[in-house]
Amino acid sequence: MIAFWKQTICVVLSSVFAYALAGNAFGGDAPLRRPRPQLFEMRFPPTPSVNTARSRTTLTITYSGTAPTAPSSGASVMPNIQVQAVYLGPAFGAGKSNASDVTYFDGFLSYLVGSTSPYMKALAPYGVSTGTAAPGKVLTGTLPHYTRTNRAYLTDTQIQNILVANISSLITPSSNTLYVVYTEPGVAIDAGGGATSINTFLGYHNYATYTSGGVTNSFAYAVMPYPGSPNPSSSSQGFANARDELTSVTSHEIGEAATDADTMNGWLETVIETDTYKNSSGQVIAQYKYYYTGEEIGDVPLILYSWSPSCFVRLNGYLVQKMIGPDGKTMLSYTASTPMAGSIPELIAPTALYAAEQALQFLGLNQP
C-alpha cells in the first residue's frame, strides 16, 4: 500500500492529517469481494505554522515493530509470482506519448521478479521466491480524465471490471498471479473510502472475486496512477522523475502482494507508536501508545525509518523500496544494490489518528 505519508512536526504539536481507509461492497456480475485496498500513502511536508498557545508543548514520536505473524495457511502467499502489466489508456498505444513506458516497465517487471534479481530472493523468509513476467497488455480504451471542470475519477470497481472484461486476453489468473495496472497521465483514481490518488496514495494492491459461467474465480492486482496533474508530481514526493516513482511504488506493491495477496491473511505485523508530550520545562505531561495492527511488510520500513533514503536502493538501475525483515525492525538487504542518492528527503512519520485531539483535551487547549 503506497500512500503519500501525512507528515507532522516532531518538535511541536501540530494537526493530525490521516485517512480512514474503508472498503466498498460489490454487487452484480463482476467483482463480488469487498475490497480492502492496501495503499502506499503520499508524503506531505511538515506544516510550518503552529498555534501560539500550543507551541510551548513539544511532541516526540517513536515507532517500534513486532515480528510479522505468519499466515495461517499459504493462500495469501505467492511462492512463485507471475506478473503481467496492464496499461490502461490510449497514451500507451503504439506511437503515442507514453508508448516507451510499455517497454521500460515490461523490462523492469521481468528483471524484478526474474531468476537473476535479488529482490524476490530476499523475500525467502516469507516463503517467496522468484517468478516470471509476461509481456504487458495495452488496453487503449478511453478513460475519464480529471480536470478543473470535469472532476471524474477512474474507480477501483471500474478497474476490476476492466480486468474481468479482458481476463481472457491476460495470463490465466491463479494463486500466483498479479496484474500490475498502470494508468495513463491525467487519470485520477478513487480507491473507495475517500482515498484517491489526488489526496492519499501513490499506489495500492487489492484482491477481487468474480463469477464466469457459474464458476467463481479470484485474482490479485496492483494499481499505479501516473504521477503529475491531477495527481501529485514525482518531485513533491521526493522522486527524481516519474519512472523512479513508479518502479519504487511497483516494487512495494509486488513485495506486499507476494506476501499478503488477499490483503487480509498474509504476513502482517503490529507497529507501536509512542507519542510523548512535554511542557516547556521538558517535563512529560502526557504519553499515548497506539497499536497499528495488520501492517504489511512494505509499509513498516516507511513508518519506522520515516521515508528516509535508506528505505530505497537501486537494482540494475531501477529504484526500488526495501521490505522489512522477519524481525519486524530491520530492512532486508539486497545483493548488487546501490544506495539511494539525492531525492527522498527524510521527513517525520505521521502521528496516530486523534492523538492531537486527545492531548489537547488533556491539556485544556483547543485546535487552532
Query: Rounded to whole angstroms, what are the CA distances from 87 to 92, 106, 195?
Result: 7, 10, 22
**How many helices and strands (H and E) does the chain possess?**
6, 16
CA-based nearest residue to 155, from 199, 203, 188, 200: 188
Residue 345 included in any domain = yes
Q: How far apart are CA 62 and CA 47, in angstroms?
A: 19
The rounded radius of gyration (Å) of the Cα atoms in the chain is 21
Question: What is the DSSP code (8-state) at residue 146?
Answer: B
- Residue 187 near residue 141 (C-beta atoms within 8 A): no
Query: Rounded to whole angstroms, what are the CA distances from 282 to 23, 57, 60, 216?
Result: 42, 9, 11, 60
At residue 36, the pLDDT reads: 54
Residue 357 included in any domain = yes
At residue 336, the pLDDT reads: 82
At residue 329, the pLDDT reads: 95
Q: What are phi and psi of 169, to 5 degrees?
A: -100, 0
Residue 368 included in any domain = no
pTM, whole model, 2 decimals?
0.82
328: left (phi over 0), alpha (psi -120 to 50) or beta: left
Q: Beta strand pairing status for 177-183 and 80-88?
A: parallel
- Residue 360 near residue 367 (C-beta atoms within 8 A): yes
- Tell how far CA 209 is from the center of its chain: 21
Residues contacting residue 154 through CB under 8 Å, at least 6 positions apart: 88, 143, 144, 183, 187, 188, 189, 190
Residue 147 included in any domain = yes
Q: Cell digits for 231?
A: 495527481
Structural domains in the chain (count): 1
Q: What are the strands of the beta sheet with 154-155, ordered from one edge? A: 154-155, 189-192, 195-196
Over the chain, what is the mean pLDDT? 82
The partner residues of 48 in beta bridges, in order of sequence, read none
- Residue 154 near residue 190 (C-beta atoms within 8 A): yes
At residue 39, the pLDDT reads: 67
Q: Domain of residue 83: give its range.
A: 2-363
- Tell how far CA 247 is from the center of its chain: 12
Q: How far apart are CA 173 and CA 212, in angstroms?
A: 13
Element (DSSP H or E) covering residue 244: helix 242-259
Residue 156 included in any domain = yes
Q: Cell digits for 13?
A: 504539536
Element (DSSP H or E) covering residue 87: strand 80-88
Residue 225 included in any domain = yes
Residue 70 included in any domain = yes
Residue 177 included in any domain = yes
CA-based nearest residue to 83, from 174, 1, 3: 174
Ranges in the chain, pLDDT < 70? 1-37, 39-40, 42-55, 74, 340-368
At residue 341, the pLDDT reads: 57
Please tell me whether the peptide bond between 79 and the residue prior to it is cis, using omega within 30 degrees of 0. Answer: no
Element (DSSP H or E) covering residue 210: strand 201-212
Element (DSSP H or E) covering residue 180: strand 177-183
Q: Please give the single-letter amino acid code of residue 92.
A: F
